[in-house]
Structure 1
Amino acid sequence: MTARCIMVLGTSSGAGKSWVATALCAYYRSQGLKVAPFKAQNMSNNARVVSTPDGQWGEIGTAQYLQALAAGAVPDVRMNPLLLKPEADTRSQVVLFGQVNDELSAMPWRGRSLKVWPQIAQALDELRAENDVVVIEGAGSPAEINLHASDVVNMRVAKHCNAHCLLVSDIDRGGAFAHLYGTWALLPEDEQKLIKGFVLNKFRGDASLLAPAPQLLEEKTGIPTVACIPMQFAHGLPEEDGVFDDRGSTGAGQAIHTTIAIIAYPRISNLDEFQPLMQVPGVRVVWARSPSQIADADWVILPGSKATAADLSWMRTQGLDAAIVAHASEGRRVLGICGGLQMLGEALIDLHGVDGNAAGLGLLPLATLFAQEKTVQPTTLTLPELQAPWNGLSRVQARGYEIHHGQTELRADMQAGAEQPAKELLPGMLWQGGNPAVVGTYLHGLFENAEVIHALFGHDAPSLEQVFARLAQGVGQWFEAGSL
């Protein structure tokens, strides 16, 4: 078996490559084909836990994880062999086949890319041998001419497997036809020939008004525009690289009963896990960067962070630290997840240069010691008895995952004399404060459990399978016959 390779390229980041690739995975699956996704190199702090060939647990980008589910495939580290997790503007942690690779993390960008190409090619070839179709996602733009010589994620991949390439542009931003033409024009002639169709994504309005632009573009390039995808608000998938807005919520325009403020610090990670909250009727999600944005919130969530100490410093600069403490003192809910949990404690202790030392917010009597080795594993648990206002979650089963360097423990000396002591409800995993409105956990993916959403809000969020079915149906409507 040698799979047909369909590659989704973009004129820029945010054009919709991940979303279109996920839709194509669902579509080919609906045609009865065996499908796998692939992205050679992903830069994202949104990651999921999957098994590795040697029986360990590793990380891949969330986009490829969801694409695998859309394809009906078991997520595999080969589907995203290289994952870059930004820790600062000029530094990323490099994850190769699911595992942190310190040697590659220390290498210059160009030298790193060329060194890993043989392994990337091998992973792709193995997936091609095992499937009918491999849906490949590019990164950024294939026409980044400063990076072309060291490319391992766009046209080098396309040429390696002679991919049928689709070039996607976000027409909602404006300038889509110039973006398509300019991207095509900057490619060498042999790579131009691999582009088989242009895709206009996020279109709002009357598609007939696009004429004669698609025809004129085809006259200049020889490439047809094969799809015009309508804007898809509330499509049910998380945005890979940016925070959401109210338009992505199924509750937008409805009477709001719960406002949840999620702190959007610079190195926020795993923000995709909050997508189900966007789909609960009557729930409003606010991505908060200032105290005013949490003033009227019912909940505050401190999400994961790839740079906990630095993001904690940023929060203090914004005045969010005092605002969060005040929020908790009023008995309103505060939830910390992973890095957010660590921030809720008293101290962050870094003896190995992993993250940094810092004083926490002091809402939980916890100390976190950063270990050199990263904990990466799936987790299934039954939530214990919690005090109000979180008591609705008592005895609810939850599945999720852990990705963290920090090891956190309850410190009795940090709550000496406390009228109400904090409790470690699950060792190393879940804590509730003496102020029971404050809870911290290492479990990512809590809100992706239908049982949790129902226990908290009395509603059922659409399942991923329902989302994938809609996407598969949409592909059949949006793309011209024979273009795939």
Structure 2
Amino acid sequence: MNTQTLMIQGTTSDAGKSMLVTALCRWLSRRGVRVAPFKPQNMALNSVVSVNGGEIGRAQAVQAFAAGVAPHTDMNPVLLKPNTDKSAQVIIHGHAISNMSAHGFHNYKAIAMGAVLESHARLTAQYDQVIVEGAGSPAEINLRSNDIANMGFAEAVDCPVILIADIDRGGVFAHLVGTLMLLSESEQARIKGFVINRFRGDIALLKPGLDWLEEYTGKPVLGVLPYLQGLHLEAEDALPHTSDFIVPTEHAYLDVIVPAYPRISNHTDFDPLRIHPQVNLQFIGPGDTIPPADLIILPGSKSVRADLDWLRKQGWELAIRRHLRYGGKLIGICGGFQMLGKLIHDPVGLEGNAGSTQGLAFFDMQTTLQPDKLLRNVQGTLVCKGASITGYEIHCGVTTFQKKYKPAVYFAQGIDGAMSDDDLIMGSYLHGLFESADACAALLAWAGLDDSSQSPNYHAVCNAAINRLADSVDQYLDTNRLSQLLNLSSLSA
């Protein structure tokens, strides 16, 4: 069996796969092991630009950071970005190849597996260990044919698997046993142990269940990870739950709201605001009352015209205009920036039906969606207080202005975005606006925060969270069994 590769699969989505891969990457890196993360197939609207200029899921970039290596397209060779409930943009080795229906991609999986195995082979040639994250559950019967995301991949490369389940959801033993029973005999043999995630309470009360699970399945429980209160780890795709927010609203000084439209993308842009001690950030979903705020941010979107229609139906256009009349500030990022113009054109139907949609018309500009996607990492200076900023662009829209505006960001060889003449509205294609403490402080001061000096060091917060996860591996998992699975003794010999 391939002990250079270990795969983490989950009984459900959000069971803790991304978290455990991140934890193991840091745990191994601490031990001097050259390790890389890998996710064969990811479906997510949170993405980043890799060091080699391609697009990968944000979770794999976080895992690469945990491993101490630069994110590369080989770490996520297949990325699916849904643009409707039935279709998605398919990205292979970092670059979009086409939009496919769910049925169309199912038929394409045999080809996609070639890309997956190419990337895995390159990683195993460069690193001592590759820690692989599965997708969803390996027991999704309707998706097992030509599977490239879970057991189909594990069987192809002959690697061991750890199965993780979230006890906070309830029914953890049914999840683990049921998943195991729905696998083939060879797949069952591939599972080398279980990890239970997000446990709260007295472990002694869980012990009888753990003993039964080991006896019933013949497989060891490798550990029980506790519920880590206040842990900040960027979400792979789903919006964070309000209960997970770190900021105590009774101490908030600036109210920020973000519409959670159906195809919201890169909502991790707002994670620095979620952890900011002076900010109360709220995602406002369908049917929710739109509360008063100091700052409204229109986020990125994978289907800009459809999400703009959704905004209007939810009453956001009137709410935004009222907000601006009272001196509130507005930021549009990427797709949200495109919405601020007069027209959005999609002549070939890249994100839905071909056609054009009237924008909010806060800027005299038009955007035309084009097949070639712009992917780049950038550094620049915000017009707000001249703060330095580092971020990335991922968009297929080309925006042209019919009027000259002050730009939002200055680059060494160009400009980005726009500021309105009354200084109430800012638009930018740049993701990561708030990640730098200086840039975050400057933007919040512009939005009305009297003292923005408390802007946290976001990267330090993320790094501390990852170290906390690695500490949990040492404290709560059977590291002797893990070392045996990964054949670590041979690395140090």
- Indicate the larger mover: 334-343 or 345-354: 345-354
SS in 2 for 1:92: strand
Tell me the distance in 1 between the aligned counterparts of 2:170 and 2:465.
28
Cα offset for 1:422?
4.7
Match of 1:367 in 2: 366
CA contact (8 A) 2:261 2:286 kept: no
Equivalent position amino acid for 1:458 in 2: S
CA contact (8 A) 1:348 1:360 kept: yes
Structure 2: where are the runs of 5+ without partners?
445-451, 483-493
Tell me the distance in 1 between the aligned counterparts of 2:200 and 2:465.
21
Seen in structure 2, the aligned counterparts of structure 1 residues 326 and 103 have a Cα distance that, compared at 3 Å, is closer
Is 1:334 the equivalent of 2:317? no
Cα offset for 1:3?
6.3
Match of 1:417 in 2: none
Equivalences for 1:124-143 in 2 at 5 Å? 124-143=120-139
Equivalences for 1:40-59 in 2 at 5 Å? 40-52=40-52, 57-59=53-55
SS in 1 for 2:375: strand
Q: Which of 392, 396, 400 pairs up with 1:405?
A: 396
Equivalent position amino acid for 1:483 in 2: R
CA contact (8 A) 1:422 1:433 kept: yes
Equivalent position amino acid for 1:129 in 2: A
Q: Which of 155, 161, 166 pairs up with 2:162?
A: 166
CA contact (8 A) 2:265 2:301 kept: yes
Structure 1, residues 224-281: CA drift from partner, whole Å, max 9, x if none?
2212111223322112221123333332265111121111000000111211111111
Seen in structure 2, the aligned counterparts of structure 1 residues 180 and 325 have a Cα distance that, compared at 3 Å, is same
Equivalent position amino acid for 1:17 in 2: K
CA contact (8 A) 2:87 2:100 kept: no
- Indicate the larger mover: 229-238 or 40-49: 229-238
Match of 1:30 in 2: 30
> How big is the alpha-carbon RMSD for the aligned residues of Structure 1 and Structure 2?
2.0
Seen in structure 2, the aligned counterparts of structure 1 residues 232 and 293 have a Cα distance that, compared at 3 Å, is farther
Is 1:244 the equivalent of 2:240? yes
Structure 1, residues 271-315: CA drift from partner, whole Å, max 9, x if none?
112111111113221011258644222211100000000000111
Seen in structure 2, the aligned counterparts of structure 1 residues 221 and 180 have a Cα distance that, compared at 3 Å, is same
Tell me the distance in 2 between the aligned counterparts of 1:83 and 1:372.
17
SS in 2 for 1:483: helix
Equivalent position amino acid for 1:473 in 2: D
Tell me the distance in 1 between the aligned counterparts of 2:17 and 2:231.
15
Q: Which of 445, 465, 468 pairs up with 2:466?
A: 468
Tell me the distance in 2 between the aligned counterparts of 1:437 and 1:103.
37
SS in 2 for 1:447: coil
Is 1:447 the equivalent of 2:434? yes
Equivalent position amino acid for 2:468 in 1: R
What is the number of equivalent residue pairs in this alignment? Answer: 463
**TM-score, scaled to structure 2:** 0.90
Tell me the distance in 2 between the aligned counterparts of 1:470 and 1:124.
28
Tell me the distance in 2 between the aligned counterparts of 1:438 and 1:291.
25
Match of 1:432 in 2: 419
CA contact (8 A) 2:256 2:282 kept: yes
Equivalent position amino acid for 2:406 in 1: K
Match of 2:489 in 1: none
SS in 2 for 1:281: coil
Is 1:458 the equivalent of 2:457? no
Tell me the distance in 1 between the aligned counterparts of 2:406 and 2:212.
67
Seen in structure 2, the aligned counterparts of structure 1 residues 93 and 270 have a Cα distance that, compared at 3 Å, is same
Structure 1, residues 161-192: CA drift from partner, whole Å, max 9, x if none?
33231111111111111011000010111111
Is 1:479 the equivalent of 2:477? yes
- Indicate the larger mover: 218-227 or 59-68: 218-227
Is 1:423 the equivalent of 2:406? yes
Structure 1, residues 116-137: CA drift from partner, whole Å, max 9, x if none?
2122112112211211111100
SS in 2 for 1:226: strand
CA contact (8 A) 2:92 2:115 kept: no
Match of 1:10 in 2: 10
Cα offset for 1:411?
1.8
Tell me the distance in 2 between the aligned counterparts of 1:424 and 1:465.
32
Equivalent position amino acid for 1:394 in 2: K
- Indicate the larger mover: 198-207 or 240-249: 240-249
Equivalent position amino acid for 2:219 in 1: I
CA contact (8 A) 1:289 1:318 kept: no
Cα offset for 1:453?
2.7
Equivalent position amino acid for 1:204 in 2: R
Q: Which of 119, 122, 138 pairs up with 2:118?
A: 122
Structure 1: where are the runs of 5+ without partners?
385-392, 413-420
